[in-house]
Copies of this chain bind each other. A is one copy, B any other.
């Protein structure tokens, strides 16, 4: 059934019936606003928007995958402050001809990804639109800790990463060349795997700065460098590059480090820690902080593309 046939309240009803309640949910969908626990006395909040044709394609990703991605992009921002996600709100703009099963799949993906970190969809809005658009707001709780910002990196700190990097960009390249394998990389693009607990963990370990890598490692580590007024060097030998990535790059005549250094969509967390911090298994040291400015790769400037600007066509 198309959404035009089911109507706005029909669509909302179908979506809401698929949502779970989270431990922080006091009042979920169905009233003018939701009420969410904010035990800390502060709430962390972030918004990200996905636009069809810009951030996803329906022929590349099913609705459940898009739901996972839309939720993950926001939940990772909450984790990058050192907070624990509690809730999502979703504004969904859909063409009236869209099958309502697609919207239901999206709701399933959103709620499943949120559940991975104990959060839940608590509210939202729907509208018709010529352009399928999903704007998600995530809320989170700091649990009494100070937020880890971008501006605290100090010369002498180590730079570390939690989560996969370059996989999603490789998957994107594969799909855009009309291929469907290696499956592991295509799946990484379709559905990021985020270590949400690594954010609060980093905060407890004394992380001096942290960011969600969504626009490419160089660009996002560049934000840490700019905000902290330090130079940061990334060591390429630190990355564990799977054979599939190396082989695919060779087959396509590409440098796989372009995916690692400039690719988005994996949403790993990058953070700086005081030298000597014993990093747990979730975190891998990938570089160092020094006096100066800008980001270097193996102590040299990087000459490839830097990352993603949503207003430029890549």
A contact set with B: CB distance below 8 Å:
3-4, 7-9, 11, 26-27, 30-51, 53-55, 77-78, 80-81, 83, 87, 89-93, 96, 122-131, 133, 135, 137-140, 142, 147, 149-150, 210-212, 227, 309-312
Contact = CB atoms under 8 A, between A and B. Distances in A.
A46 B311 contact: no
B49 A44 contact: no
A198 to B, nearest CB: 14
Nearest to A77: B32
A123 B81 CA distance: 14
14 contacts: A7-B311, A8-B311, A8-B312, A9-B309, A30-B150, A32-B78, A33-B45, A33-B81, A37-B42, A38-B42, A45-B122, A45-B139, A49-B127, A127-B310
Residue among A34, A80, A87 with most chain B CB within 10 A: A34
A147 B122 CA distance: 15
Contacts of A126: 49, 310
Given A45-B123, A49-B133, A51-B129, 7 more contacts: A26-B42, A33-B46, A35-B44, A47-B137, A51-B93, A54-B129, A129-B133
